[in-house]
Amino acid sequence: MLNFSGLSDRWRRLLGQFGIRRDELEAFGLQEARVLRLPRSVMAASIAINTLGLALPLSIMQVYDRVIPHSSGETLLALLSALIVVVIVDGALKIARAYMSAWVAARFTQVSMVSAFERVLYAPRAAFTADPPARHLQRLQAVQRLGDFYGGRSRLLLLDLPFVFLFLAVLALIGGWLVLVALAVVAAFAIATVHIGRKLRAAHESRDRQDAKIHDFLADALTGITTLKGHAMEPMLLRRFERLQRSAAEIDYEAIELAILSEAKVTALGNITMIAMVTVGAVLAIAGDMTIGTLSACTMLSGRAIQPILGAASLWNEVQKMRLGLDHVRELFALPEREHAIEAAAEPRAAPAVRILGLGHRIEDRTILEAGDIELPAGAITAFTGDDESGKATLLHLIAGEGRPTRGEIHIDGEEPGLYRTRHPGAIGIVAQNPVFFRGTILDNLTLFGDGPTADEARNAAAFVGVDRDIARLPSGYDMRLGEGVSETLPTGFLKRLAFARALALRPGLLLLDEPQAFLDQDADRQLLAALERLRGAVTIVMCTNRPSYLAMADRAWLCRGARITPLGGRAGARSDAAPSFAELMRGFGTAGAGAAGRAATAATEGPTP
């Protein structure tokens, strides 16, 4: 940010009205705001540039009042040489200052965008889902616009504002009462700007709210465009978009009208300044109270003093938009910071034990979960069953560290879930009821676009689940692209098993499954049951399911009813000491033996599936 250490409190408040305050960024938690502070060299360059701006008016005054009357050619040559040097130095300083300002703004944008996106990525599930994705995108765009504002000419203009008093002081020194003309113009400018500024801010606030509605509508429409086309809903959506756009156009008309009116007033005030200075100065010169050189210098000084003020008026529209952007950025950085910024543990992951201690969780005024102490043994398969309103899916999110319970604690090998997930990246695998895939190939999604498992590990995981045979039947195999409308043509059961393979490719120690049987046909269901059976002892599995066959294979089962969790039973035994490790299991399912493994898995679970 700007360094205001040498300015008075009154001047700080004045600059604050133009959107520049030291605490503006620090107020919403952006610790990297320090990178936006301009170096002292830029401040020194601004002082030099504005001081050199006095050279031309004072030289003109000397030429008219002394050089011409005395026909002094040597003095004229000396003044001309000095002015050439001043122009060269002034241009070089302005270029260097603009370069430094742009570099600082670019650095700020880079640091703040990374920090903002980190907030979004590591925000608790409840905090992030409170607003639609379009709103978060709008806030991220506000960070970019804020960086553009601080890197543009507006910031350099604000640097020049304090030097208005320097030019007015010199004008008063050589022109006397003529300075009152410039001060009157400044007062008129202030009144007009404040009046229009309030209306501009109201118009921009209205447009901002309308933009949020349009972005939400477009996000929903484009996300489900295939479904919308299938139901022939194009005319209805077009009419709705027309209504939204009509309201936005009306607001734009008001804002543009106010901006044009502001520009017209600025131009008129600039012309009035020059006319008033020449008129009053001419009267004083005719009366013999002022020389022609002094009048010329005063005219140039008044123009130099009014220039940054009129420039600020022309930027008033941009300033109002920036201040709205600050509100969006504050909302973005109001998201909780990343809780655990520690290095990942180097030791290999083992199946962890999960302990739930006096759990209680509420959403708004409604109790979602209520339980005593629950032990989920390491390597065991634990199932939670209940209706859709029982809160069993919420329990999975709490175990995954995507939120904190209102009361009680959850420990994974003695650690809080968020800390455990940070110390052991990939240790918690999650398969949602409706998995999401990203734009890319199947192999890209399984390997997390090269930042996760290797291609061999991904193929082994697919073979372990039995989905590799279905992938082989696709025209492009592992190179088939997802997330481009193609996903909607693929069977949901295939995508569900693909998500299961993606989770296994990370070699998790804890596997969380939300309705794993959903959308699976009979053959895929048998394969998944066989895969879960092979994982018994090597991975701690926690699943939410109402399917009897999955409840029957669980070591322990719990019933979620009326927000309470009670024991349901389960098979005896949890984990055998002779259970193979996860790595040994996956090595046994290389691509070469995938077919045999899949047939063995099917044979091992033949029989009707409830």
Predicted confidence (pLDDT) per residue in 244-292, tens digit:
888 888 888 887 887 787 777 777 777 887 888 888 888 888 888 888 8
Give residue 570's pLDDT. 58
Beta strands 428-431 and 407-412: pairing type?
unpaired
**Residue 237 clears pLDDT 50, i.e. is over it:** yes
577/445 same-domain check: yes
224/76 same-domain check: yes
305/385 same-domain check: no
Average pLDDT over residues 226-232: 75
Model-level pTM?
0.62
Average pLDDT over residues 451-469: 89
Give residue 317's pLDDT. 64
Which of 80-89, 193-202, 381-390 is modeled with the greatest confidence?
80-89
Give residue 152's pLDDT. 65
Give residue 500's pLDDT. 92
Give residue 581's pLDDT. 55
> What are the φ and ψ backbone dihedral angles of 370, each rounded to 5 degrees?
-150, 120
DSSP 27: T
- The tens digit of pLDDT for each residue in 466-509 reads 899 999 988 888 888 887 655 557 888 888 899 999 999 988 99
User: Alpha-carbon torsion 222, 228, 230, 235, what sign?
Assistant: negative
Quote the number of domains for the chain.
2
More confident residue, 85 or 336: 85
**Residue 30 clears pLDDT 50, i.e. is over it:** no
299/384 same-domain check: no
More confident residue, 243 or 368: 243
**Residue 577 clears pLDDT 70, i.e. is over it:** no
Nearest to 215 by CA among 248, 252, 255, 251: 248
Q: Looking at the domain assignment, is residue 609 inside a domain?
A: no
Is residue 442 within 8 A of residue 462, CB to CB? The reply is no
As given in the structure block, the two tokens for residue 377 are 């043994």
Give residue 146's pLDDT. 78
More confident residue, 599 or 444: 444
Give residue 482's pLDDT. 84
Give residue 23's pLDDT. 45
Q: How far is CA 434 from CA 26, 51, 445, 551, in A?
A: 40, 66, 15, 21
436/575 same-domain check: yes
- The tens digit of pLDDT for each residue in 399-435 reads 988 878 888 889 998 888 888 887 888 888 999 888 8
Give residue 186's pLDDT. 74
Give residue 389's pLDDT. 75
CA distance 449 to 442: 10
16 confidence band (pLDDT: 50, 70, 90) = very low
Nearest to 201 by CA among 122, 24, 43, 319: 319
Residue 539 pairs in a beta bridge with 536
Q: How far is CA 176 from CA 181, 303, 322, in A?
A: 11, 16, 39
Q: Tell me the percentage of the chain whose pLDDT exceeds 90.
A: 8
How does DSSP assign 40-88, residue by residue? HHHHHHHHHHHHHTTHHHHHHHHIIIIIHHHT-HHHHHHHHHHHHHHHH
589/476 same-domain check: yes
Beta strands 510-514 and 540-544: pairing type?
parallel
- Residue 71, class by beta-carbon neighbours within 10 Å (0-12 exposed, 13-18 middle, 19+ buried)? exposed
**Residue 512 clears pLDDT 90, i.e. is over it:** yes
**Residue 184 clears pLDDT 70, i.e. is over it:** yes
303/445 same-domain check: no
Average pLDDT over residues 549-566: 87
CA distance 372 to 145: 50
Nearest to 101 by CA among 147, 55, 162: 147
Give residue 485's pLDDT. 57
37/139 same-domain check: yes
Task: Choose the weakest-confidence range: 12-21, 53-62, 134-143.
Answer: 12-21
Residue numbers of the domain that contains 519: 380-391+425-604
Which of 53-67, 183-197, 341-355 is modeled with the greatest confidence?
53-67
More confident residue, 53 or 29: 53
Which of 109-118, 190-199, 284-293, 303-312 is modeled with the greatest confidence?
284-293
Please identify which residue in the block is written with the tokens 């026909």.
71
Nearest to 594 by CA among 531, 511, 547: 531
CA distance 463 to 474: 15
Is residue 358 within 8 A of residue 373, CB to CB? The reply is yes
Nearest to 351 by CA among 585, 501, 575, 530: 575
Is residue 352 within 8 A of residue 540, CB to CB? The reply is yes
Give residue 265's pLDDT. 75
Q: Looking at the domain assignment, is residue 268 inside a domain?
A: yes
CA distance 202 to 251: 10
As given in the structure block, the two tokens for residue 95 are 């270029």
Nearest to 435 by CA among 370, 514, 339: 514
The set of long-range contacts for 424-428, using a CB threshold of 8 Å and a minimum separation of 24, is 424/344, 424/345, 424/349, 424/509, 425/344, 426/349, 426/452, 426/506, 426/507, 426/508, 427/349, 427/352, 427/508, 427/509, 427/510, 428/400, 428/401, 428/508, 428/509, 428/510, 428/511, 428/512
- The tens digit of pLDDT for each residue in 318-333 reads 766 777 777 777 777 7
User: Alpha-carbon torsion 527, 529, 530, 535, what sign?
Assistant: positive
Q: Looking at the domain assignment, is residue 521 inside a domain?
A: yes
**Residue 541 clears pLDDT 90, i.e. is over it:** yes
- The tens digit of pLDDT for each residue in 300-321 reads 888 888 777 777 666 666 766 7
Q: What is the CA radius of gyration of the chain?
A: 35
Cβ neighbours for 441, distance < 8 A, ≥ 6 positions apart: 476, 478, 479, 480, 481, 482
Q: At 483, which CATH number?
A: 3.40.50.300
Give residue 493's pLDDT. 84
Q: Looking at the domain assignment, is residue 518 inside a domain?
A: yes
285/384 same-domain check: no
Give residue 70's pLDDT. 83
322/442 same-domain check: no
Average pLDDT over residues 514-541: 89
As given in the structure block, the two tokens for residue 469 are 């045979």
Nearest to 345 by CA among 413, 280, 396: 413
- The tens digit of pLDDT for each residue in 129-183 reads 777 777 777 788 888 777 777 766 667 777 787 888 888 888 888 888 888 888 8
Q: Looking at the domain assignment, is residue 348 inside a domain?
A: no
588 confidence band (pLDDT: 50, 70, 90) = low
Give residue 233's pLDDT. 81
Q: What is the mean pLDDT of the chain?
A: 77
Q: At 223, which CATH number?
A: 1.20.1560.10
Average pLDDT over residues 348-371: 80
As given in the structure block, the two tokens for residue 373 are 């102490």
DSSP 403: S
**Residue 540 clears pLDDT 90, i.e. is over it:** yes
Average pLDDT over residues 355-365: 83
As given in the structure block, the two tokens for residue 238 are 């077009």
**Residue 548 clears pLDDT 70, i.e. is over it:** yes
As given in the structure block, the two tokens for residue 31 are 């610790």
Q: Looking at the domain assignment, is residue 400 inside a domain?
A: no
CA distance 238 to 120: 32
Q: Looking at the domain assignment, is residue 488 inside a domain?
A: yes
Helix, coil or strand: residue 30:
coil
Helix, coil or strand: residue 18:
coil
Beta strand segments in 208-263, E:
none
Q: Looking at the domain assignment, is residue 514 inside a domain?
A: yes
Residue 370 pairs in a beta bridge with 360, 564
**Residue 27 clears pLDDT 60, i.e. is over it:** no
194/47 same-domain check: yes
324/387 same-domain check: no
